[in-house]
Amino acid sequence: MIQLKKFVKHFIIEGQKLIWPLAAKSRFFCRVYYCFFDRSFGYEQQALIKAKLAYFAKEGIQNGTSSLLRRNIHRLEKGLIMEPRRDFFALDYILETVDVYLLASESADFSKTELDWAYSVLIEYFEAVKTTHKEVLQAKQRFDSISPRVDISSKPYSSESRKTHNIDFESFSNLTQARRSTRWFLNKPVESEKLEKIVSVASQAPSACNRQPFEFMVVEGDSFRKKVAKLPGGTVGFSDNIPCLIAVVGDQSYYPTDRDRHVIYIDSGLASMQLMLAAETLGLSTCAINWPELEKLDEKVSKLLKLPQYKRVVMFIAIGYAKPSGGIPFSEKKSAQQLMNFIKE
Ligand SMILES: Cc1cc2nc3c(=O)[nH]c(=O)nc-3n(C[C@H](O)[C@H](O)[C@H](O)COP(=O)(O)O)c2cc1C
């Protein structure tokens, strides 16, 4: 059976090798190839279209947050810190921003801190812009028509007044070396307070336009966790040994345009890295687990985690207390010289 599988795989690859040079010649041939010979992007493309529908159906507001509001408020903040600051900016999106702010403030379950931030920045913006452009005047009029909030000053500040830290390079470098992918854990549950702490550290990660289009789904219940942990192929042999499993889920409906289709993976990856390092500081160990882009698996995981198609599993993270005698692969790292490359014109 294994031999037969190997033979079929070999046969398919050899066949594809004949077609690839032609497909690589032009984008048209490439599209024909992915239309007729390889459907692997089909599910993802459908997810992208569903994401656009979801975005516009909710006018940029979803689950107590708004990707549109977050993006636009971020853009206003960038305008406010510009050196030199321009007399006016954001003419093309200020009305849209105030409108989405109004909608958000009318939504009962909308995040209070997100509204506070938007409110503070909008106040700052209208104080800062010096213009009689009709877009700004109209936006100001609409903004003034709603009940004011207490301005808690969630607005741009100077670099010298930001939070300080006392971690030196040596300590941080040690932390990164102490973190190693761990696959063997003690049979000990992970405290939910610790999970909350590491997720709050993950939330500090950079994300495109501060949209944070991801969530960390903790898979609960022994048998359910084991079932879900078996799905990604990379857990063979240790899936039953994972005491805590997190599905990192990226929400493609934060983006109405295809050009940003990779951002959920980048943002989720950066936040996940922070989460894994934070876990280490609390005595927990982790292992990132690959989620392959395979239609059948995607369908299965979406069903189990009750995800709409536009919410994509980016990866899983196993978390737990490391079993002291559990093996850790050596995992030789590349040197800085290998990874660095200087380029001149
Ligand atoms: C995106 C990603 C996917 C990974 N998938 C798996 C996986 O499916 N199974 C596994 O055992 N390890 C997985 N790993 C862990 C890697 O094997 C590990 O990070 C790598 O070998 C380097 O070892 P280190 O993490 O201890 O430095 C994954 C890591 C990343 C970043």
Q: Is the pLDDT of residue 38 over 90?
A: no
3-state SS class at 191: coil
Give the tens place of pLDDT for each residue, 272-316: 999 999 999 999 999 999 999 999 999 999 999 999 999 999 999
Q: Say if residue 213's pLDDT is above 80.
A: yes
pLDDT at 60 over 80: no
Which of these, 8, 52, 21, lies nearest to 251 by C-alpha position?
A: 52
Instruction: Report in angstroms the alpha-carbon separations of 291 from 207, 220, 298, 314.
Output: 21, 19, 9, 6
Cα of 232 vs centre of ligand 1, distance in Å, is 12
Give me the residue label for tokens 């939504």: 107
pLDDT tens readout for residues 125-150: 999 998 789 999 999 999 999 888 88
What residue's CA is closest to ligand 1, atom 3?
290
Reading the block at residue 250, the tokens are 């990226």
CA 272 – ligand 1 centroid, Å = 13
Question: In this predicted model, which residue has the larger pLDDT, 307 or 58?
Answer: 307
Instruction: State residue 209's pLDDT score.
Output: 96
**Mean pLDDT of all residues belonging to the chain:** 95
| Probe target for ligand 1 pocket from 265, 290, 297, with the most ligand atoms within 8 Å of CB | 290
Locate the ligand 1 atom nearest the alpha carbon of residue 182 and give its number.
26
Q: How far is the CA of 181 from the centre of ligand 1 (A)?
A: 6
Chain segment 219-248, per-residue pLDDT in tens: 999 999 999 999 999 999 999 999 999 999
User: What's the gap in Å between 287 CA and the centre of ligand 1?
Assistant: 6
Q: What is the pLDDT of residue 146?
A: 86
Residue carrying structure tokens 């947050």: 65
What residues line ligand 1, using a CB cutoff of 6 Å? Answer: 180-181, 183, 232, 234, 287-290, 315, 331
Q: Please tell me the predicted confidence (pLDDT) of residue 259.
A: 95
CATH of domain 173-320: 3.40.109.10
Maximum C-alpha span of the chain? 76
Ordered DSSP codes for 175-231: HHHH------B-S-PPPHHHHHHHHHHHTTS--GGG---EEEEEE-SHHHHHHHHTS
How high is the pLDDT of residue 298? 95
Nearest CA to ligand 1 atom 6: 289
CB 305 within 8 A of CB 217: yes
- CA dist 37 and 292 (Å) reads 19
pLDDT at 148: 85
CA distances from 236 to 32, 159, 243 (A): 36, 47, 15
Ligand 1 center to residue 286 CA distance, Å? 10
Stretch 175-196: mean pLDDT: 98
Which residues, in sequence order, are CB contacts of 176 under 8 Å at separation 6+?
277
CA of 148 to the centre of ligand 1 (A): 49
Ligand 1, atom 1: closest residue by C-alpha: 290
The CA 228 to ligand 1 mean position distance, Å, reads 18
pLDDT for the residue 58: 77
In a mutational test of the pocket of ligand 1, which residue from 173, 176, 179, 181 has the highest number of ligand atoms less than 8 Å from its CB? 181
pLDDT band at 195 (very low <50, low <70, confident <90, very high): very high
pLDDT reported for residue 132: 83
Tell me the pLDDT band of 40, cut-offs 50, 70 and 90: confident
Q: Write the residue with the smallest CA distance to atom 18 of ligand 1.
A: 181
Residue 96 predicted with pLDDT over 90:
yes
Cα gap 39→268, rounded to integer Å: 26
Mean pLDDT of 81-90: 95
Q: Name the residue ranges covered by the structural domains of the chain.
A: 10-39, 63-154, 173-320
Residue 150 parent element (H or E): none
Rg (CA), the chain: 24
Position 208 pLDDT exceeds 90: yes
Q: Does residue 37 carry a pLDDT above 90?
A: no
The rounded Å distance from CA 330 to ligand 1 centre is 12
What's the whole-model pTM score? 0.95
Closest by CA to 64, choosing from 19, 104, 18, 100, is: 104
Task: State the Cα–Cα distance between residues 326 and 70, nearest whole angstrom.
Answer: 43
